[in-house]
Structure 1
Amino acid sequence: MPKKTIEEWTEDAIESTPYLASDEKGGAYRESTQLNQMDDNTKVETHPSVKPWVHFVAGGVGGMAGAIVTCPFDLVKTRLQSDVYKNVYKSNAAKQTAASNLKIFHVFNQAGIHFKETCGIIGNVYKQEGFRSLFKGLGPNLVGVIPARSINFFTYGTTKEIYSKAFNNGQESPLIHLMAAASAGWATSTATNPIWMIKTRVQLDKAGTTRQYKNAWDCMKSIVRNEGVRGLYKGLSASYLGSVEGILQWLLYEQMKAVIKKRSIEKFGHNNEGQKSTGDRIKEWCQRSGSAGMAKFIASIVTYPHEVVRTRLRQNPVENGKVKYTGLFQSFKVIIKEEGFLSMYSGLTPHLMRTVPNSIIMFGTWELVIRLLSQA
């Protein structure tokens, strides 16, 4: 066997480096090396597999954090959606901007007035009903949010992996995100509708001598006794329609996150975690969390009318001895006919003031918990 020169030994050592580690580490090294050698147009990013229970726990923790912080806005939103409180909290935005011919000024002026009125409603609830009233429905809200977010993130993460392996050779795509988001939305709506039904009734319950329900448990017993078990599923059709909001949010979030990831790869390369400073990691985390808020903002504006219809169906008002709202499309027709199309956006300002920061907190917390549990 001919002797090798120093240069030849050096070349052999460099080529064999990936195989000197364990099989798992060596395989990961070889995979990332191959990715770096591929053409920019054909790069395929591989994502580390996250255990399903991690998605479940992280989603619940994220949902809980967001719900607690933004509960007062949820209370205002629910009351503004209800026809019981529409005269009590009647907005002056239309009156003060009717004389304006500038549409852009009109929109921004209305938004400012709604923001001011929302804060005013929170202040009035605090003065008239006490601090605890700002967190009415928080109990059933948390009971609903924790499993709802756990189910949503668990179903989305799990089905995304299943669908990508079954239909797209293990790779993600907008269609895979759409299918996973739809599965997550429908599963979450079906499982948690009774909880949201109780939360809505409790939040619409007036304080003082006219109070109907002692607590959430009393509310549930009253619904089952007077309306049957099916009464707990009122508004489910609107919830299914509302799953479109979740689907749209997931799609937008994934696309924004992909843009952030692409910029990170362009700056640091595929094996980028070790090259990032703490500031870089925090900056990207803030960008991803902000993307969740922006995605929620867009999705909420597009799909908000279903929220009003769902609240009316759960509210279950009686008119002339008959239930006023009997179904999804019938409710749309009645509300628009009696109150106008703009009433379909009643409570939008507090809704956005709640859901946008809620999404930022929830998705940010979800990602942090995933990182912590995955490293454990």
Structure 2
Amino acid sequence: MTAINSKSTKFGGKLNLTSHVKYEHLLAGISGGVTSTLILHPLDLIKIRFAVNDGRTTTVPQYNSLSSAFSTIFRQEGFRGLYKGVTPNIWGSGSAWGFYFMFYNTIKTFIQGGNTTQPLGPTLHMLAAAESGVLTLMLTNPIWVVKTRLCLQYGAETSSNKAIEYRGMVDALAQIYRNEGIRGLYRGFIPGMFGVSHGALQFMTYEEMKNHYNTYRKLPIDTKLATSEYLAFAAISKLIAAAATYPYQVIRARLQDHHLNYNGSWDCIKQTWRFEGPRGFYKGMQASLTRVVPATMITFVMYENVSHYLLHRSKTIDI
């Protein structure tokens, strides 16, 4: 990245990436992630349960449809059952979106040399988003492992599974670390790395649409848009990214599920293809899209409005 933006160096030619860090992006990202999670967590839980259903594991409940899954979970596990894993999901989504937006805007502004009206183009947008995704995944993967496992406690575990029941987020972190070590907390990390392409594609599409729209209106590319415009661009970018990269989410969920046993990512891919075919890689996609599209719309609208407010407030205070 240093070769991309040698002109952005300061203070005697030394790289000064930290000077572009704006914590307003962190706070705005957290607010968006937490809000969307609180509203849409049940759909996330159902998506995960569909994704890990390989048709061969008897301990995994069978659901016929999205509505069937919702009613069955509610009937068997109650309202609280629909919010299993919500605590790590709030921590995970809040921190992931916060870190992602902060890293992304820091790297993007660094490449721009501090000039936020300078367009980057698709390649550099994808580069900034990919780097941000890797950094965020390194920090948040243990939280996603815990969230997945809490979502997959069905309320009627067999006696053989009693030993691996988790009483909450902290207990799950402790048990996984004690029984599986650091590797246990980073299960699904490799397919998660492939998932970085999802965020990169989404952010590239989102940023390019915003930039072209403002250019068409003959306005600076960082001009604030209307809420409806943010909603439309967020939805379109998410649909494109989700359709292109969904299979990695199935593989990651299965590797993180304590009811299933695979010898790594490649073994999981081979078994899924052998027993379920191409459709196996898209299990839970309906539930996923039903959740992630509105979740992204909520997150991005919250982020854009909160970040613009905080950045404007910060500039006013500085003046």
Name the TM-score class by shorter chain.
0.7 to 0.9
Going from structure 1 to structure 2, the CA distance change for 1:271 and 1:254 (only over 3 Å counts) comes to closer
Q: Alpha-carbon deviation of 1:132? A: 1.3
The residue correspondences of 1:1-376 to structure 2 (distance < 5 A) are: 52-83=22-53, 84=57, 88-91=61-64, 117-165=65-113, 171-208=119-156, 210=158, 212-265=165-218, 284-317=226-259, 324-376=261-313
Going from structure 1 to structure 2, the CA distance change for 1:253 and 1:325 (only over 3 Å counts) comes to same
TM-score (norm 2): 0.83
Query: In structure 2, the residue corresponding to 1:136 is in which secondary structure?
Result: coil
Q: Counterparts of 1:257 and 1:272 in 2: how far apart (Å)?
A: 8
Query: In structure 2, the residue corresponding to 1:130 is in which secondary structure?
Result: helix
RMSD value, Cα: 2.6
Q: Counterparts of 1:73 and 1:372 in 2: how far apart (Å)?
A: 30
Contact 2:24–2:310 (CA under 8 A) maintained in structure 1: yes
Matched to 2:42, the amino acid is P
Query: In structure 2, the residue corresponding to 1:88 is in which secondary structure?
Result: coil
Going from structure 1 to structure 2, the CA distance change for 1:197 and 1:300 (only over 3 Å counts) comes to same
Which of the two has higher C-alpha Rg? 1
Contact 1:56–1:153 (CA under 8 A) maintained in structure 2: yes
In terms of fraction of residues, the more helix-rich structure is 1
Gaps of 5+ in 2: 1-18, 314-319
Gaps of 5+ in 1: 1-48, 92-116, 274-280, 319-323
TM-score (norm 1): 0.71
Q: Counterparts of 2:35 and 2:222 in 1: how far apart (Å)?
A: 30
Matched to 1:306, the amino acid is Y
Provide Cα deviations, 1:263-286, integer angstroms capped at 9, x if missing partner: 433xxx66998xxxxxxx87x321
Structure with higher RCO (Cα < 8 A, 6+ apart)? 2
Contact 2:210–2:221 (CA under 8 A) maintained in structure 1: no
Matched to 1:247, the amino acid is A
Matched to 2:147, the amino acid is K
Q: Alpha-carbon deviation of 1:223? A: 1.2
Matched to 2:270, the amino acid is K
* Alignment coverage as a number of residue pairs: 286
Q: Alpha-carbon deviation of 1:330? A: 2.1
Going from structure 1 to structure 2, the CA distance change for 1:230 and 1:50 (only over 3 Å counts) comes to closer
